[in-house]
């Protein structure tokens, strides 16, 4: 592979554009004028995510067994597990985050709670960790997934590790035309991983349907995210936070997201396994499709072209599902070019590099997509749209896209889901059953201070006192319990156990940090368990410490139980 190159983009005055891009400002100006009278949701249509065709997808199947990529497929996945097991070896090179093992829950979204869920037949996705960084494959035209994390790498690599076995998702559209979730296996994983490439929460996001993203669902898990203050401020505590054309819950800060939906798959290559078109333990499949989307909120203002709609940047990319039975895990891996140089190397050594033209259907890269944002935002400074959504892109006018090509610095959030074994009656917006989010919440932490204390219990009681028997109470009776109307499409953060009612039962699920046995206090029994787990790492548990106990002892979610966790435990200890 050629060595590192300078890949700074030229200024707008000298940049090369395709003819369609030259016409883009006139097209966008006409669209912006027309859209001033059209709500964002109406313009983007009735679909909360671009998740592929609504008819049964036409997928090309390729037998790639025996190819060089297939020969290296399992080893390349095991190499990532080795990175996760030895994070000190890659300190400063990659971003590694661990999640609690065994914390998957069922958070349905269907109107009236209809739709059958079978968590035994269809396992709830449970993420255990992810790794994100610059990737350097020696021969990307042979196999981009074989290589090393290296700061000179011109590819981004993202790996999600899921506890137990999962398979690629079948098509589940939000408009009822397609519902084949188990097309490739009984345990599909759906959802989104959002990437904030400029680490600026005020740029990027969605101008419609935040109900399907992290900010729209994290509070369904009974608390407010505490890791970043801006997440706490923008997370939807109940559906009233969606009652605006454009508000805080739309502002996720993402520039790109990974969309895990089967309707996006156009080709499947068997690397390891048989050819029965059913993903099984021990197999490795490589999927080709439009899985990596630039944030749809930018499409209102973008010069990008070539996609299924104005401003869309939906490049084709490759996604690997690797089942690793020996480690009881599944890895979902994405390798994508950061630069157009890297995009050319995917084709062949010495392949000519195409200019940054904003067209995701030819050589596509993160740099090209961000370059389009800077160009579009600069044009909007001189030609403001007057739309309330424009601030989502404005700050890109003063940013250099080259400054944001280090994936280890990209804040990320994720929301994973399963679906129904029998579809719900009303399936628009409701085909997903959310199971795991990251960053996590502490159930019962309503003020996002990473603790459950007296103030949270007071806040819960205050909510019950205000709402019990009122207009929003489904039973309309003052009885100490608030019942949610149209649960589960409606929700509230105070419904900690997610049963459609807020009352005394929710207190039992309010998790105080250090309350390892979940009996409502932090006492000697909890200390005994903490002592067993002290010194554990996620991949190397001490004797007597179970994975679930480890997750409850790793109070700072660092991947190890150490003095930092003990300091928190000591503060919460009640004897």
For 515-540, what is each residue's pLDDT tens digit? 888 776 789 999 999 999 999 988 78
Distance (Å, rounded) from C-alpha 67 to C-alpha 230?
Answer: 46
Of 407, 334, 404, 347, the residue nearest 7 (C-alpha): 404
Phi, psi (deg, nearest 5) at residue 303: -85, -10
pTM to 2 decimal places: 0.85
CA-closest candidate to residue 167, choices 291, 333, 280, 320: 280
Burial of 30 by CB count in 10 Å (0-12 exposed, 13-18 middle, 19+ buried)? exposed
Q: Tokens in use for 51?
A: 């998740």
Quick check: 303 pLDDT over 90? yes
Indicate if the pLDDT at residue 49 is higher than 80.
Answer: no
Q: Are 509 and 517 in contact (CB under 8 A)?
A: no
Residue 212 CA to residue 106 CA, distance in Å, equals 15
Contact 375, 367 (CB under 8 A): no
CA distance 330 to 349: 31
pLDDT at 324 (0 to 100) = 93
Tokens 């997370």 map to which residue?
A: 235
Whole-number Å distance between alpha carbons of 270 and 10: 41
* CB of 545 closer than 8 Å to CB of 478: no
Lowest mean pLDDT, pick from 56-70, 142-156, 165-179, 457-471: 165-179
> Which two structure tokens, joined as six digits, stand for 60?
């090309």
Element (DSSP H or E) covering residue 185? none
Mean local confidence (pLDDT), 178-197: 93
Q: Which two tokens stand for residue 544?
A: 């007597």
- What percent of the chain is predicted at pLDDT more than 70? 87
Place of tokens 């599902």: 321
Helices (H), 37-165: 40-44, 68-85
* Residue reference for tokens 């007057």: 386
* C-alpha closest to that of 125 among 157, 168, 85, 84: 168
User: Six-digit token pair at 109?
Assistant: 């979204």
Distance CA 456, CA 453 (A): 6
Give the lowest-confidence range in 67-71, 97-101, 193-197, 571-575.
Answer: 571-575
Percent of the chain with pLDDT over 90: 67
Element containing residue 574 per DSSP (H, E): none
């Amino acid at each position: 592979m050629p060595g590192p190159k300078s890949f700074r983009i030229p200024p707008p005055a000298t940049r090369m554009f395709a003819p369609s891009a030259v016409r883009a400002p006139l097209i966008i100006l006409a669209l912006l004028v027309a859209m001033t009278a059209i709500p964002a949701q109406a313009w983007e249509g009735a679909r909360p995510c671009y998740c592929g065709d609504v008819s049964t997808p036409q997928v090309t199947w390729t037998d790639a067994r025996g190819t060089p990529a297939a020969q290296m497929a399992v080893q390349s996945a095991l190499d990532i597990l080795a990175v996760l097991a030895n994070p000190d070896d890659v300190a400063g090179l990659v971003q590694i985050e661990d999640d609690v093992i065994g914390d998957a829950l069922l958070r349905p979204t269907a109107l009236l709670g209809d739709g059958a869920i079978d968590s035994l037949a269809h396992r709830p996705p449970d993420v255990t960790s992810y790794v994100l960084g610059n990737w350097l494959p020696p021969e990307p035209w042979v196999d981009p997934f074989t290589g090393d994390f290296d700061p000179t790498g011109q590819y981004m690599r993202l790996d999600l590790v899921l506890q137990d076995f999962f398979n690629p998702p079948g098509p589940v559209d939000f408009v009822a035309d397609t519902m084949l979730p188990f097309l490739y296996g009984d345990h599909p994983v759906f959802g989104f991983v959002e990437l904030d490439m400029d680490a600026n929460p005020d740029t990027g996001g969605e101008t419609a349907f935040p109900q399907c993203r992290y900010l729209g669902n994290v509070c369904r898990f009974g608390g407010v995210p505490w890791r970043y203050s801006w997440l706490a401020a923008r997370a939807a505590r109940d559906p009233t936070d969606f009652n605006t054309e454009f508000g805080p819950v739309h502002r996720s800060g993402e520039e790109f997201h990974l969309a895990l939906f089967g309707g996006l798959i156009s080709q499947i290559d068997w690397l390891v396994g048989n050819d029965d078109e059913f993903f099984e333990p021990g197999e490795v499949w490589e999927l080709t499709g439009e899985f990596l989307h630039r944030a749809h909120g930018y499409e209102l203002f973008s010069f990008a072209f070539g996609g299924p709609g104005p401003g869309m940047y939906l490049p084709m990319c490759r996604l690997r599902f690797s089942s690793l039975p020996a480690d009881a895990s599944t890895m979902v891996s994405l390798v994508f070019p950061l630069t157009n140089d890297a995009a050319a190397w995917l084709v062949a050594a010495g392949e000519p590099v195409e200019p940054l033209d904003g067209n995701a259907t030819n050589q596509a890269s993160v740099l090209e997509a961000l370059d389009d944002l800077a160009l579009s935002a600069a044009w909007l400074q001189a030609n403001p749209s007057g739309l309330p959504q424009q601030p989502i892109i404005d700050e890109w006018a003063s940013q250099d896209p080259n400054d944001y090509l280090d994936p280890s610095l990209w804040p990320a959030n994720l929301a994973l889901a399963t679906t129904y074994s029998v579809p719900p009656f009303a399936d628009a917006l409701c085909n997903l059953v959310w199971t795991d989010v990251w960053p996590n919440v502490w159930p019962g932490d309503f003020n996002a201070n990473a603790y459950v204390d007296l103030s949270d219990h007071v806040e819960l009681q205050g909510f019950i006192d205000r709402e019990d028997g009122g207009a929003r109470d489904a039973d309309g009776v003052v009885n100490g319990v608030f019942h949610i109307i149209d649960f589960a499409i409606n929700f509230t953060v105070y419904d900690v156990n997610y049963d459609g009612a807020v009352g005394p039962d929710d207190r039992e699920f309010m998790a105080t940090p250090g309350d390892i046995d979940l009996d409502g206090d932090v006492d000697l029994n909890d200390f005994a368990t903490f002592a067993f787990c002290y010194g554990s790492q996620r991949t190397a548990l001490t004797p007597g410490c179970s994975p679930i106990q480890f997750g409850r002892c790793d109070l700072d979610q660092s991947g190890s139980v150490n003095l930092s966790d003990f300091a928190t435990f000591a503060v919460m200890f009640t004897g």
